[in-house]
Structure 1
Amino acid sequence: MVETTQFDEKAQTALRMLFEKFWILRKKEPDLYQLVREREKVLKRYIDDKFGFDLIVHQHFIKLEKIPVETKSWMGIQSFQTQQDYAIFCCALAFTESRSVDEQFLLSDICEEIKELYPGEVPLDWTNYNHRRALVRVIKQLEKLTLLAVVEGEVDQFAMNEDQEVLYETTLYARYFMRSYPKDLTDYESAQDILISEWDRNAEDIRRKRVYRKLLTSPVVHRESEDDPDFAYIRNYRNRLRDDLEAHTMFRLEMFKNAAMLVADENKQELTLFPDQKALMDVALHVAAYVRDHREVYAPDEFGRIHVSQLTLEQIVANTQNEYGKGWSKLYREGTPVSVTQDLIELLRDWEMLEETKEMDIYIIKPLFGRVAGHYPADFLRKEEMHHE
């Protein structure tokens, strides 16, 4: 193996893939595994200095332990729908960790043990369709993470029939999924306590590491107060940050009065970018353009935030639909403002462009939403005019 001491383009690629993937399995992605191994020293040095993350290099996998500064709703497992899904998932992890590598077991075996371990007040009942669907989502996630391997059968059938069997075997990765903590998990009172304890071992340059973590793991860093220390650090050291990030990543730092973000000038398949090709993105971009064109009505506060009621947001969507809806997909072109607004809220919330308040039916449109806008090209509008003449 040839190691290099230079943070070159291949090191950039390796760093990007480490952030985008939960882990890199040698058996599944041998070339990528090898790439990271060859750049291991420079990667570890940079990651430790800027983020304080652990880069775990194992003979069978490589994993970057990405710990956020604060938790966000979009950081969850996207296929999970309820808290029950997560509880079942944790019980399933306990089951797989107790098994030997390549040990085979039936779906009924893991069902029985999950039922015994489940901490909910209402016990699991596999005759309940919703409980079975939750287990299917969990098992599929375990398969996706390669914690389980299917030997024979298909778990989807379990949703329709509680007697359906599937034969699995435990993989060697199962015991490495959970990260280690400085204390027993039961000693922490909340998720926030776990995040705070992360800084006990990263006492040096905490501010810099907080900023780098926020920039690389979140869509945006918003200015939350007049004396927001993280945002002040970005503003004061923006030139140094910009140079460093452009030298080590494919991203470019953009800085505004109330928001800082990393943008990509080229698309990469592994990246999750805004906007993408989904039909809802057209709606989002046109709503952003409409709000910008009516700034006198929707005036932002000193932090660039616009407070709107549910009713106002639905009216904005309705007005945008009237103005731009001709080019939307059928679902949103013919959808009611209420249904389109609901889909839009979920999208913008995941991208930290919109926030729900504790007050009933009040939303905050965040500054990042002002960074984007969409308009039809002139020839599209001309064709529409000719069509209606």
Structure 2
Amino acid sequence: MEQTQVFDEKAIQGMDLLFHHYWILRSEQPEWYQLIREREKVLRRYIGDKFGLRLIVHQHFIKLEKIPAEPERWMGIQEFQEPMDYAIFCCALSFLEGKAVDEQFLLSEICQEIQSDYPGDFPLDWTLFTHRKSLIRAVKVLMDFQLIRTIDGDISRFDHNEEQEVLYEATTYSRYFMRTYPDDFAAYTHWEELLKEDWKLNQEDERRKRVYRKLFFSPGIHRQDQQDPDFLYIRNFRNRLSEDIDKHSDYQLHVYKNTAFLSSAVSRQYHNLYPDTKASSDLLLQLSKEIHGQRERYTPAENGEIIFTKSEFEQAVDELREVYGQGWSKFFREKSTSGIAAELMISMKDWMMAEEDEETGLIKIKPLLGVIAGEYPADFEKGGESE
């Protein structure tokens, strides 16, 4: 058998790179590009079989089109803050489709085109500071993805001066950012139709592909109820899944009564692992410890969720501060209880550890929070910031 047909350590590394990067640019990461090319056949076969995803190998880049089983709130472009950012970004992509590789254009030119194509209920007005800031965020992301390059000028000055001019150049990659669809994009009226279109191509072994996507793309999977088909699949084929994941990745499968997730003993610079180095992770570990230690008070539902009202959650934060607060970072020591609770909710939602019902205000703490708990060592002395 040819070396390229063996799913070896190089193939494992190649798959890890594909899953953690939007694309691998040959000009920027030539070693990564070459590694994946060498294992292209075996990677394409495995990813297609287990995930139902498309691997694109181009002379200038390699891209795995990562389509989630279900979209989550933490997915998307992290630098964007509001829907306007995405709309401006998409209008800019449309503008770039009409540009040749290395063709130059001015900021004022793309601003004019975006303004005329913008689909919002209210028109863009570059004299408004908020609109200019939104454009700056969109342009910076265009540069981060290497869809355009700056020839002369600085976009950051646009926030104080709408007359600021910058010269840009379109790159080879600008026309490959968006994935292609079977039908005209304008024919889709709702984002759910895009997901349904993908599953039309993946009807064979759809359940397995959904489970693999959830495990690899999300912090974890929660059991919705006793008949949750995805979770039942994991429970029924646990050993087979675990063996396959061990063989083809650096991850290990963990399955509990109400949650399943992958862990990694290998931490690479581009990984986003929990707990991370943010101070909020320390508080979440402590919160997990306190909830675990008071089972008579915090009784989980059948699916493992623990329900809090907003005031009950803030009370829990107050009690957490009483026990651990002296060791918290200055940022959290000086925050109000409601401010701390809001910060923790953001982190928990990002890690799929909590959901908040907008109508009732109830907070659902998910089983994933309880997987890891932490506290300060016994000899910890109150009165100083933790190391």
Q: TM-score, normalised by structure 2?
A: 0.97
What secondary structure is seen at the aligned counterpart in 1 of 2:379? helix
Q: Which residue of 1 aligns with 2:115?
A: 115
What is the distance in 1 between the residues matched to 2:366 and 2:97? 42
Distance of 1:16 and 1:229 partners within structure 2: 27
Amino acid paired to 2:55: L
Q: How far off its partner does 1:335 sit?
A: 1.3
- Displacement of 1:183 in angstroms is 1.3
Letter in 2 for 1:32: W
Count of residue correspondences = 383
Partner of 1:104: 104
Which secondary structure does the structure 1 equivalent of 2:4 belong to?
A: coil
For structure 2, list consecutive stretches of 5 or more residues without a partner in the other structure.
none
Q: Residues 225-252 of structure 1, C-alpha deviation per residue, up to 9 Å, x if partnerless?
A: 2111111000000000000001101100
1:368-379 matches, cutoff 5 A = 368-379=368-379
What is the CA RMSD across the aligned residues, in angstroms? 1.3
CA distance in 2, matches of 1:103, 1:384: 61
SS of the counterpart of 1:105?
Answer: strand
What are the ranges of 5 or more consecutive residues in structure 1 without an aligned counterpart?
Answer: none
Q: Which residue of 1 aligns with 2:180?
A: 180
1:15-94 alignment runs, 5 A limit: 15-94=15-94
SS at match of 1:252: strand
The answer to whether residue 195 in structure 2 is matched with residue 195 in structure 1 is yes
Q: Give the Cα–Cα distance (whole angstroms) in 2 for the partners of residues 155 and 14 of structure 1.
A: 35
Cross-structure match for 2:349: 349
Partner of 1:95: 95
After TM superposition, the structure 1 = structure 2 runs for residues 309-320 of structure 1, keeping only pairs within 5 Å, are: 309-320=309-320
For residues 98 and 299 of structure 2, the distance between their equivalents in structure 1, rounded to whole angstroms, comes to: 57
Q: Distance in 2 between matches of 1:199 and 1:385?
A: 56
State the alpha-carbon separation in 2 of the partners of residues 276 and 385 from structure 1: 24
Matches of 1:272 and 1:130, distance apart in 2:
30
1:26 to partner: Cα distance: 0.0
1:15 corresponds to which letter in structure 2? Answer: M
Secondary structure of residue in 2 paired with 1:254: strand
Q: Report the CA distance between 1:186 and its aligned residue.
A: 2.0
Q: Name the aligned partner's letter for residue 369 of structure 2.
A: F
* CA pair 374-7 structure 1, distance change in 2 beyond 3 A: same
Question: Which segments of structure 1 move beyond 6 Å, counting only runs of 4 or more?
Answer: none
Match of 1:302 in 2: 302
Q: Look up the match of 1:293.
A: 293
Identity of aligned residues (%): 50
CA deviations over 1:185-218 (Å, ceiling 9, x no partner) = 2222211111011111111111111110110101
Judge conservation of contact 2:326–2:383 (CA < 8 Å) in 1: no
Shift of 1:100: 0.6
1:107 & 1:331 partners in 2: Cα distance? Answer: 38
The answer for the alignment partner of 2:141 in structure 1 is 141
Aligned partner of 1:198: which letter? D
Match of 1:233 in 2: 233
Q: How far apart are the structure 1 equivalents of 2:3 and 2:146?
A: 29
Tell me the TM-score normalised to structure 1 length.
Answer: 0.96
SS in 2 for 1:317: helix
Cα separation, 2, equivalents of 1:169 and 1:385 = 55
**Corresponding residue number in structure 2 for 1:210:** 210
Is the 8 Å Cα contact of residues 327 and 382 (structure 2) preserved in structure 1?
A: no
Query: How many angstroms apart in 2 are the aligned matches of 1:119 and 1:199?
Result: 29
Query: Is the partner of 2:260 in helix, strand or coil?
Result: strand
Aligned position for 2:124: 124
Alpha-carbon separation, structure 1, partners of 2:77 and 2:382: 42
Residue aligned with 2:5, SS: coil
3-state DSSP of counterpart to 1:73: coil
**Whole-angstrom distance in 1 between the partners of 2:260 and 2:159:** 45
